[in-house]
Structure 1
Amino acid sequence: MNEWNDIAVIAPTTDIDLASVPRLREQVDALIDSGVRRILVNCQNVTFIDSTGLAFLLSRARALYGREGLLSLVNASPDVARFLQIARLIDILHVSTVERPAIPVIAPDVPPLWSKSFTIQRGVEHLAEYRHRAAELLGTLPLTREECFDVALAAGEALSNAYDHACGGEGGSMSVYAYPDRVIIEVRDCGCGYEIADGEEPAESLERGRGIKLMRMLVDSVEVRRRADAPGTQVRLIKLVG
């Protein structure tokens, strides 16, 4: 971090997500309390911002604005810029998704072309690892780069929920299934379990962000259900291919 009078530059060394936000919040709040009014966030090493990171940045930008200050992001990658573009629409224009056609049902006897499953380790520091694993698998499918990024972003939101709301991720899992016409990602946690009905608007929190709404914008189907096999929640994401 560099600081000159009432101007400061901070450079996160990793993604701005559920794992890194607590430390960044302490750093930025200390700067604001000390009288800094202009904060530049150098995103040179940031490849991903999730809804928790977005909520943090928005709240501190508003705090600075109320003190006649400004928070800016610089050196943002195309992927980070894309996310900010999507998120700005959510927050400022209150965009709701266009109703999509029903997803065709897969016959029970049709196996996936391949599948991969991972047990989620306890500790939010592992969040980026599983997010990047999902992105690598998506990169093997006939999806555009933008589609891969969108689905990986949605998977990251589901993983953030698993870590944030249930046992720090312990006992959870992530599975990726590839079919000829779709990819399915399932993230399971071991929390108390909750459901969100199709079309239901989840309660929003400024600090937690708008993860469910963001996921619905990024993929073709989002199901949030209580697990049938154990206590906890399963988030099921479907993205059609082709």
Structure 2
Amino acid sequence: MKLTHQDFDDVRIVSVVENRIDAACAIQFKDEMRALSDSGPARILLDLGNVEFLDSSGLGAVVAALKAVRNGQRLELAALHPTVQRVFRLTRMDTVFTIHTSVAAAVEGIANAS
């Protein structure tokens, strides 16, 4: 599982390079997300733009990443592919996560909120 990240002021953008998060990589995803959130700022934005497939293990890994953020940190999602967005909607996880249409919209929202 390959993740990249960039820091901008008070947000760390973590991008998933792979096109799927499934049982084969869920544990590695959780471990990498934990390391990136431990050393990150108050807002972590997970860019899922490349992810076209997410199974129940992948969804569990994203939820585990949410549970692993420090007190006062937030994990937000951006750029969900329609099939991935459907998984979040069907499981009602779209009510748990803040989901942005794109990374640009999320960052613009952050800039405009300041």
Task: Name the structure, 1 or 2, with higher relative contact order (CA <8 Å, separation 6+).
Answer: 2
| 8 A contact 2:27–2:61 mirrored in 1 | no
**Aligned mates of 1:32, 1:10 — CA distance in 2:** 9
Bigger Cα Rg: 1
Identify which of 74, 85, 92 aligns with 1:88: 92
2:61 aligned counterpart, secondary structure = helix
**Aligned mates of 1:5, 1:60 — CA distance in 2:** 21
Percent of aligned pairs sharing the same letter: 29
Identify which of 34, 38, 45 aligns with 2:50: 45
1:22 aligned counterpart, secondary structure = helix
Q: Which residue of 2 aligns with 1:18?
A: 23
Paired residues in the alignment total 89
**Structure 1, residues 33-72: CA drift from partner, whole Å, max 9, x if none?**
22433211111111111111111111221332x6122111
TM-score of the pair, normalised by structure 1: 0.33
Q: 1:69/1:16 Cα in 2 relative to 1: closer, same or farther (>3 Å)?
A: same
Q: 1:41/1:55 Cα in 2 relative to 1: closer, same or farther (>3 Å)?
A: same
Question: Following TM superposition, by how much is the alpha carbon of 1:82 offset from its aligned partner in structure 2, in angstroms?
Answer: 0.7
Larger strand percent: 2
Q: Which residue of 1 aligns with 2:106?
A: none
Aligned pairs for 1:114-153 (under 5 A) are none
Alignment-mate amino acid for residue 72 of structure 1: E
Larger helix percent: 2
C-alpha RMSD over aligned residues:
2.2
Structure 2: runs of 5 or more not aligned: 97-114
Question: Following TM superposition, by how much is the alpha carbon of 1:23 offset from its aligned partner in structure 2, in angstroms?
Answer: 2.7
TM-score of the pair, normalised by structure 2: 0.65
Question: Following TM superposition, by how much is the alpha carbon of 1:4 offset from its aligned partner in structure 2, in angstroms?
Answer: 3.3
Identify which of 57, 78, 84 aligns with 2:82: 78
1:56 aligned counterpart, secondary structure = helix
